[in-house]
Structure 1
Amino acid sequence: MNVSKVINYTCVVIGGTIAIYANAESEQDTFLLVGGIVVLMFGIYRTSRNIPSKYEKQEEESFIKSEPIDEDETR
């Protein structure tokens, strides 16, 4: 497994754990909750940055095929 993926997943797990812990207490610690959400979102951002776009190769995978037009047929 790539080191970058390990960092991404670790940030997501640690951020989620901190956010749940900060929210579970009877008196919520706002700074701890915000910090956990920031770490969680940082891990999600780094993970989603490596996912390729669905529309990246749109021109190559087109179902519409064009045929060459002969000039003799158009007249």
Structure 2
Amino acid sequence: MKYFNYVLILLGTTVSIYAKAGADQNQFLLIGGIVVLMVGIYRLSKTIPSKKKGENDTENKERG
């Protein structure tokens, strides 16, 4: 499933670049590519774990 997110990101990037490269831009193709790109990034970011609460506390104590 992780690789599917990377495929979405690459597909969205490729479609967006292709839609932007032509002299006669297709706005719907560009918007579709950006949407696919953002969906891939969103799905990938959901799999990144958040910091533990203890790590944040020690960082705050060291700073101030």
The higher relative CO (CA closer than 8 Å, separation ≥ 6) is in: 2
RMSD, aligned α-carbons: 1.3
CA distance in 2, matches of 1:12, 1:40: 5
Q: For residues 1-75 of structure 1, what are the structure 2 equivalents within 5 Å?
A: 4-54=1-51, 57-58=52-53, 60-61=54-55, 62-63=57-58
CA deviation string 1:12-49 (max 9, x = no partner): 00000000000000010000000000000000000000
Paired residue secondary structure (1:10) = helix
Partner amino acid for 1:28?
Answer: Q
Q: Which runs of 4+ in 1 moved over 2 A?
A: 60-64
Count the aligned residue pairs.
58
Question: Which runs of no fewer than 5 residues in structure 2 stay unpaired?
Answer: none
Q: TM-score, normalised by structure 1?
A: 0.70
CA distance in 1, matches of 2:34, 2:9: 9
Q: TM-score, normalised by structure 2?
A: 0.81
The offset of 1:52, in angstroms, is 1.1
Structure (1 or 2) with the larger CA radius of gyration: 1
**Paired-residue identity, %:** 53
